[in-house]
Structure 1
Amino acid sequence: MTDGSESQYGWIGLGNMGGPMTGNLVDAGHSVRGFDLDHRSLGDAQQRGVTPVTGIPEALEGADVVFTMLPAGQQVREVFAGEGGIFEHASQDTLLIDSSTVDFETSRWCHREAEARGLRFVDAPVSGGISGAEAATLTFMVGGRPENVEQALPFIEPMAGNTFPAGGPSAGIAAKLANNMMLGISIMAAAEGSQLAERLGLDPKVFWDIVSVSSGQSWAQKTWYPVPGIVESAAANNNYDATFRADLALKDLTLATQAGREADLSLTAAELATSQLQALADEGLGHKDCTLITKYVSPEGEAPGYTAEHDVADAA
């Protein structure tokens, strides 16, 4: 790939992330054979130039590399070890890369099971969301044996803005979970800080400018500030239509706090952020943006720029 030659990709999971990621591979001149149980996702990927196939074995045929981008650890285990799965049909010449966000133990299981079969496996979760997948600006965090990571990087490059070899097996998912845990806590800080400033009479743009060059700044504050008209990329401008869905953020923080408990750590702030995202999900608002946790700051349960009408019905 480094010489510009075409590579053959197999791809399992063509949803909101996998669809645009494979489209960028096609745009970069590579061939992609993709599979998804959802026929609409398969059709959308075909419109992007992906060759749709009817099952995992067909996706693996002739593949230099196979990516999986799946919803959770259970699906990853089934796709790899289930009947007709990747482990059954993969060639030892094919590099296996999982970009799903999974629990830490599932990632370690993938590495162990692949190595036991003489297969090369890399965990490479991503940060950047659907917009990053569309724009080919995702950040990949890559874990595995050094030689496998080195081989994975050229396959990742057409989809990435940044790629970080994070360390050994499962270092990529460890980085993803810790990063997204910090994001969740930062969102909570931006929500509370923005509302305190407003109640104390500060102009929201003036306060945002101050924080942006002061000790309260964060990526969440600069990019997803939960007040309309301040940051162009904020969901608050669009009734909190999702930039990063609350239910997906809940998944990531749940996995992070689970990993923390297994590591005998007290992640108090992360547990609180998780509880607020869970509250959105319980209200039927998991499809809305994660920054809608701002509504829990005020006693009225309101967030700047948010109109609740039709949201629960739309989610259903």
Structure 2
Amino acid sequence: MKAGTNMMIAGKIVYVFVLLILTMVMRLAGNSSSVLVMTVGNSSVLTCPVKGNLTMLTWRITPTAGGLCTLVYRVDKNATHRTTCSDNIDWTFRAGLPPALEIQQVGIAQEGNYTCEMVSTEGNFHISHYLTVLAPPRLSLSCDEQGSPVCEAVAGKPPAQLSWVPEGSSTAEEKCHDNGTVTVLSKFTACSTNVTNVTICMVSHPAGNWSQSIACCPSEKISTNVFLYACIITCILIIITLLAVIYYFKLHSDRPCHKTKPPDIAPIHSQQDDTMEVEPYTTYVQKENVIYNSMSDLTVGQNLPQDLCSGT
């Protein structure tokens, strides 16, 4: 009796173990993963292959940036439920087929992991997809101030690859944006007058390939700039020269003036002037003679003897 009980217990253990192994095998057989690639602006429908009679279907979306999004469909109630999902993601129902997940005008924000979980009469299954979103760059080709062609692949995901025809030296740089896109700028520097002036920029990207051509080497803008620079330099030199001349004259005008002494001019004497100058002198001499004679007579009179004076 005890032996029979032990056999029954052992049989149940083996049965449970086999069921566990079968469940694991079925889940492994039903589980799969894949990579989906979509381009910005396109639409797509994701389906789950259902085995047996479907009971419940759930999509779990985990974007690379943002929160978890879930969409649930219950067959018994024919009802759907969704949480924190963007407006461009929703169910789509088709006649005779289980509901599928539709993504309209996919954007970079929808990139991430998409997992479909199915509950049916044959067990539980799930399929995972990783959605990769490609953003084709905007091609821009122009000439810079030095007359060199500049090619720019704006906001591409992943970064674009740029090349030139004809081949030559070039410099490239990348600028990353917050939304995950990258702008690539390449400048073609090998300009030569021995080859054609037309250069072609070629863009390679998983979303497509593009090319544009431009002719800007040698550039007419360079000649215009050289002429402009020459005019500016000439005007500056003229202004400097004028300022120097003004400063020179101002410096010399501030010095004291040395006037030249006029030459002595001999006065012109007329005969009348000589006569006018001589007459005062003659009058003066005559007056002096009269005074002298008077004084002489007086002196003589005082010195003579008295008898002489009376006889006189």
Q: What's the TM-score, normalizing by structure 2?
A: 0.24
The structure with the larger Rg is: 2
Bigger fraction of residues in strand: 2
> Counting helix residues as a fraction of each chain, which structure ranks higher?
1
TM-score by length of structure 1 reads 0.24
